[in-house]
Amino acid sequence: MDALIIDFGSQWTHRIHRTLTYLDVSSKIVPVTTPVADILKADVLIFSGGAIRIGLGDAHQTGNSREYIEKFQGPILGICAGQQFIGMHFGGTAQPAKGPEYGKVEIIVDDKDELFAGLPDKFTAWASHNDEVINTPNFKVLAHSKDCSNHAFKSLSRPIYGCLFHPEVEHTQHGSEIYANFLKIAKK
Query: Could you tell me which residues are beta bridge partners of residue 166?
Result: 126
3-state secondary structure of 179: helix
Q: Can you tell me the distance from the alpha carbon of 55 to that of 62, in angstroms, rounded to the nearest whole number?
A: 12
The answer to whether 148 is a known catalytic residue is: no
Task: Look up residue 166 and give its DSSP letter.
Answer: B
Question: Pick the catalytic residue: 17, 80, 89, 163?
Answer: 80
Which amino acid, one-letter code, is at 39? I
The answer to whether 168 is a known catalytic residue is: yes
The answer to whether 14 is a known catalytic residue is: no
Neighbouring CB atoms inside 10 A of 29's CB total 15
Question: Pick the catalytic residue: 132, 144, 151, 168?
Answer: 168
Q: Can you tell me the distance from the alpha carbon of 148 to that of 75, in angstroms, rounded to the nearest whole number?
A: 25
Would you please indicate which residues are annotated as catalytic (active-site) residues? 80, 166, 168
